[in-house]
A and B are shown apart, each in its own frame.
Chain A
Amino acid sequence: MSAVPGEWTVHGERSIYDSEWMSMRLVDVETPSGARFEHHVVRVPAEAAATLVVVDEKVLMIWRHRFVTDTWCWELPAGRIDPGETVAEAAARECREETGWRPGPTTPFLSWHPANGSIDLTFHVERATEATHVGDPTDLDEAAAIEWIPLDDIPALIRDGEIADGFTLTPLLAELAGV
């Protein structure tokens, strides 16, 4: 049985694959019912930050291709937090690089584990209510289009599948919920 009632006890871990970006592990785990087995875990060591910029009931978004899923979606600007960088600094940098807009002061909006049954990864979103256009995007690999999307269009874009990535969907639904 597990040491703390209800907790899954970890007895060990072995690596299948390791790189700078991620690792795949098999974790030797014991569950509350007494079963013991190896559980797959993907570990992504760098946390990621996105910026939700809302100005005049419109959201700053990029239209981009994702090769892993082979899908096109409207997304918030986002990326890895570099070593030594704060969440707010990373969010603002990614926004500037991917959209050409520098967000005004940001406040922490949401943090979560996007897939806590399989991937060890943390997402953060910072929210801003102003932004300044400072030039063209410097990251040419992410945005095929940059637009201010009306909040009123978001529910239909979710329904139609043009917004279908969790990093974007989660904070947009929170914004629509008026939290």
Chain B
Amino acid sequence: MVDPFDPPTPERAVWAVHGSRSVYHSWWCGLDLVDVSVPSGRRFEHEAVRFEHPAVGTVVVVDDALLMIWRHRMIPDTWGWEIPAGVVDPGEDPADAARREALEETGWACGPVEFRCRWHPSSGTSDQEFQLFAAASAERQGDPSELDETVEVAWVPLDDLAELVAAGRIVDGLTMVAVWNTLAAR
């Protein structure tokens, strides 16, 4: 029985990196081809998408309702309820980014935020990192200033969230982590 909190990390089980070449690089993301050998002995080039900055999402829960926006996503061509989220600016503290994105996308200034969790949304493909922050208070400042993301702003009752996932109205990973993290902590 392996202790789940202290498992072994043997060299023989590591995917060994022998080198890497850049195929593309921009201010936002890049693509490397990595020369890697796997534990069974095969050696090949494997793509790795690199992101320059982490993204943050903001969970704002007041009176058992979650602050959400209704928006279109160009990449999968889907509409969904999402929590406010965005990329951390260079030099910006991730907690400040979480508060900034919430204000820009919803018009609500949230109170102090606390860190919830971090994860790699797609660790077989990219090194992108998401971080989740949570606030328990908010004050309305005005309309959203970000006009390309928000179509509607709503306080969605926590009791409705699971049904919205089942109905296909919440379809993105960052919001799902926020939803389940919030409901699991209730």
Contact = CB atoms under 8 A, between A and B. Distances in A.
Interface stretch (B58-66, B105-113, B134-142, B172-180): B172-180
A56 interface: no
B123 A73 contact: yes
Interface residues of B, number: 70
Contact of B123 (A27, A66, A113): A66
The size bracket of the interface on A is: 35 or more
Nearest to B1: A147
Given A114-B173, A160-B5, A42 B124 contact: no
Contact of B38 (A68, A141, A145, A153): A141
B96 interface: no
A72 to B, nearest CB: 5
Contact of A153 (B5, B26, B75): B5
Interface string A146-165: 01010001011111111011
Contacts of B186: 177
Interface of A: 4-8, 10, 16-17, 19, 21-22, 24, 27, 29, 31-33, 35, 39-42, 44, 48, 63-69, 71-74, 110-123, 140-141, 144-145, 147, 149, 153, 155-162, 164-167, 169-170, 173-174, 176-179
